[in-house]
Amino acid sequence: MSAPAFDPTDPDPTDPRPQPPDEPGPNECCGSGCPLCVLDLYSDELQRYRTALAAWKLRHPEVP
């Protein structure tokens, strides 16, 4: 995972706004029922992002 890019609109550069995960491309899932499907991994990452974003918004209520 790469470091988040600097966003000049963040109210606190030491606590940057969480960034959403990259969505898998249309051909990344092979459709064979893998135990660790990229779509399942994306869903897990998306849930972590939403949780982190909600916590960040509580710390930064001035940001829409």
- C-beta separation of 53 from 18 below 8 A: yes
Task: Write down the pLDDT at residue 62.
Answer: 85
Predicted TM-score of the model (pTM)? 0.77
Task: Write down the pLDDT at residue 7.
Answer: 63
Task: Write down the pLDDT at residue 1.
Answer: 44
Say if residue 23's pLDDT is above 90.
yes
d(CA 29, CA 60): 36
User: Which of 62 and 39 is assigned the larger pLDDT?
Assistant: 39
Say if residue 13's pLDDT is above 50.
yes
